[in-house]
């Protein structure tokens, strides 16, 4: 079960490569008819729509530059919906073909270079996604006894860790083997969800000049600059948020102590599953100067769910949240694109490690404080 990733509408890709011209797309999704409607989205807006006739639709239009885009399907035909979509590349250089015998999610999109590359990428990631689905089922079908079992939660945590390593390795492999493909920028974004600035920067440097000098490449270079501000070795940016009693707490108030800055949410299963390991570390080292500040990205109106999760999971350290979901200012401040994420900060406010699982955190604390008491 992969980490919770920032929603696709919030991460819509910007345009790339200056090659103005006309695009053409034709597709068939099963045998759907009116009122089923397909919507074309790019540049974070609905650009066109088409009512299906025997599953068939088409789009023709002009673009200044090729762009990552989305197709969404609403069988009721009563407006855009974000729960049935597929990502592709809107570009010139041929007819973009969309084909599926049943659902939009199963469609193959081919006919142009980047869409062909994307199909190759999707095929490479498919086994990982199947394992992800199996882990999701394992989690959602767990009994209450299993959810309360440290052994079961530890097993899930380790399986998730292995899956993330495999996902990271696959993305890295694709980027290295396809340095001239726009899809490699998407793979790099996925890789960055689990990586520090230095790793991401080295892979970005391996991309071809045409990709790095594209509009999307230049935009990602700016993102890398922001990532550098929260990389290992940088001073953690300060912020202030309300705690569970609406008392405002600043990150800087922990200066002089070792601090784990932990980003999570009550709706994030893997966050909740990792809580026992973090709690164990807190109980072992808090009296020796180790502290935790948890920042929740819970949704507006979900204050009670946030409080219930804190109580249920037995979290003993300060908890803060503005309940603004992915729109919280801390998201952009810390370049968050996935949950959970954490940053280990030294007494001088410098980030010394990030994205530690419970075993890695325990090992780091042993390194800092010596053996467990």
pLDDT of 308 reads 96
Average pLDDT over residues 249-255: 97
**CA 354 – CA 195 distance, rounded (Å):** 9
Judged by average pLDDT, the poorest of 22-36, 58-72, 95-109 is 58-72
Residue 84 scores a pLDDT above 90: no
**CA 300 – CA 103 distance, rounded (Å):** 32
Question: Per residue in 35-55, pLDDT tens?
Answer: 999 999 988 889 999 999 999
Average pLDDT over residues 245-272: 95
Q: Are 317 and 294 in contact (CB under 8 A)?
A: yes
CA atoms within 13 A on the CB side of 256: 2
Output the CA angle 193-270-105, nearest 5 degrees: 65
pLDDT band for 20, please (50, 70, 90 cuts). low
pLDDT of 2 reads 46
Q: 46 - beta bridge partners?
A: 41
Judged by average pLDDT, the poorest of 14-28, 216-230, 256-270 is 14-28
**CA 339 – CA 318 distance, rounded (Å):** 18
Question: Per residue in 298-348, pLDDT tens?
Answer: 999 999 999 999 999 999 999 999 999 999 999 999 999 889 999 999 999
pLDDT of 136 reads 85
| First-last CA distance in the chain | 34
Helix boundaries (H) for the chain = 113-140, 144-147, 150-177, 183-192, 197-205, 209-212, 215-228, 269-285, 303-313, 329-333, 358-369
Question: Per residue in 308-317, pLDDT tens?
Answer: 999 999 999 9
Question: Per residue in 129-143, pLDDT tens?
Answer: 999 889 888 888 888
DSSP calls for 119-160: HHHHHHHHHHHHHHHHHHHHHHT--HHHHT-HHHHHHHHHHH
pLDDT of 11 reads 40
**CA 304 – CA 320 distance, rounded (Å):** 13
Average pLDDT over residues 48-74: 92
Which pTM value belongs to this model?
0.77
pLDDT band for 118, please (50, 70, 90 cuts). very high
Give SS3 for 172. helix
**CA 367 – CA 369 distance, rounded (Å):** 6
In terms of C-beta density within 10 A (0-12 exposed, 13-18 middle, 19 or more buried), how is residue 292 classed?
Answer: buried
pLDDT of 17 reads 37
């Amino acid at each position: 079960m992969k980490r919770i990733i920032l929603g696709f509408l919030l991460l819509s890709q910007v345009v790339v490569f200056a090659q103005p011209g006309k695009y053409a797309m034709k597709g068939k999704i099963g045998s759907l008819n009116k009122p089923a409607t397909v919507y074309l989205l790019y540049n974070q807006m609905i650009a066109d729509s088409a009512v299906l006739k025997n599953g068939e639709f088409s789009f023709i239009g002009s673009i200044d530059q090729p762009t990552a885009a989305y197709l969404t399907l609403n069988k009721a035909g009563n407006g855009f919906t974000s729960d049935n979509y597929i990502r592709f590349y809107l570009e010139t250089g041929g007819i973009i073909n969309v084909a599926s015998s049943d659902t939009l999610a199963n469609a193959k999109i081919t006919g142009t270079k980047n869409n062909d590359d994307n199909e190759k990428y999707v095929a490479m990631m498919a086994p990982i996604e199947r394992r992800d689905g199996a882990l999701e089922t394992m989690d959602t079908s767990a009994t209450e006894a299993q959810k309360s079992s440290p052994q079961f939660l530890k097993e899930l945590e380790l399986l998730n860790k292995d899956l993330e390593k495999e996902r990271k390795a696959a993305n890295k492999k694709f980027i290295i083997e396809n340095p001239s493909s726009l899809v490699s920028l998407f793979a790099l974004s996925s890789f960055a969800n689990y990586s520090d600035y230095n790793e991401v920067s080295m892979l970005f440097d391996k991309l071809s000049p045409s990709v790095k000098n594209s509009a999307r490449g230049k935009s990602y270079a700016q993102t890398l600059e922001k990532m550098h501000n929260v990389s290992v070795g940088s001073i953690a940016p300060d912020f202030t948020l309300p705690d569970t009693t609406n008392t405002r707490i600043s990150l800087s108030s922990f200066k002089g102590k070792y601090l784990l800055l932990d980003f999570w949410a009550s709706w994030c299963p893997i966050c909740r599953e990792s809580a026992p390991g973090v709690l164990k570390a807190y109980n072992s080292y808090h009296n020796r100067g180790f502290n935790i500040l948890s920042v929740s990205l819970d949704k507006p109106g979900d204050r009670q769910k946030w409080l219930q999760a804190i109580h249920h999971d037995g979290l003993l350290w300060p908890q803060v949240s503005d309940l603004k979901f992915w729109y919280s200012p801390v998201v952009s401040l810390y370049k968050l694109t996935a949950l959970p994420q954490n940053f280990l900060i030294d007494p001088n406010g410098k980030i010394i490690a990030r994205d530690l699982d419970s075993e890695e955190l325990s090992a780091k604390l042993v390194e800092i404080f010596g053996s467990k008491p």
